Amino acid sequence: MHEKNKEDLGLEIHDRIIKSIRKENRKRNRKNFSMLSILVLILLCGSFYFSYRDEILSFVQKNNGREITADFLTGTITEKEASKSTTENLQIGKDNTQAIYRDEKDNKMVLNVAKLDLADDDVLNIKTGIGGFYRVELPDGSIVNLNANSNLHYTASYLKDRKLTLSGEAYFEVKKLLAGKKRVPFEVKTNQQSIKVLGTEFNVKTSGEFDETLLFEGKLNVKGVNSGKENLLAPGDLIRVGSNGSVVKELSEGEIEELLAWKEGFLYYENRSLAHILSDLQKYYDFDFDRKLVPKENFTIYLARENNLGELIAMLDASSLAGLKLNNKSLIFSK
Residue count of the chain: 335
Residue 46 predicted with pLDDT over 50: no
Looking at residue 263, the DSSP 8-state letter turns out to be: G
Domain 265-333 part of CATH 3.55.50: yes
Helix axes 253-260, 3-26, angle to 10 degrees: 100
Residue 103 predicted with pLDDT over 50: yes
Per-residue confidence at 36, pLDDT binned at 50, 70, 90? Answer: very low
Averaged pLDDT for residues 35-61: 46
Residue 233 predicted with pLDDT over 70: yes
Averaged pLDDT for residues 191-211: 77
Q: In the chain, which segments carry CATH 2.60.120.1440? A: 37-253
Task: Tell me how far apart the alpha carbons of residues 322 and 316 are, in angstroms, rounded to a whole number.
Answer: 9
Answer CATH for 37-253 from 1.10.10.10, 3.10.20.30, 3.90.1150.10, 2.60.120.1440: 2.60.120.1440
Residue 270's Cβ-count burial label (10 Å; 0-12, 13-18, 19+) is: middle
Q: Where are the beta strands (DSSP E) in 147-265?
A: 151-155, 163-167, 170-173, 178-179, 182-183, 186-189, 193-206, 210-224, 230-233, 237-242, 245-250
Q: Is the dihedral of CA 93, 97, 99, 101 positive or negative?
A: positive
pLDDT at 221: 87
Decide: helix, strand or coil at residue 207.
coil
pLDDT at 2: 47
- Mean pLDDT is lowest, of 75-84, 112-121, 124-133, 245-254, for 245-254
Q: In the chain, which segments carry CATH 3.55.50? A: 265-333
Averaged pLDDT for residues 15-33: 43
User: Is the pLDDT higher at 79 or at 264?
Assistant: 79
Tell which residue, 79, 123, 114, 118, has the closest CA to residue 96. 114
**Helix H or strand E encompassing 255:** helix 253-260
List pLDDT tens digits, range 236-281. Answer: 788 988 888 888 887 777 777 787 787 778 888 989 999 999 998 9
What is the model's pTM?
Answer: 0.70
Task: Tell me how far apart the alpha carbons of residues 197 and 185 are, in angstroms, rounded to a whole number.
Answer: 6
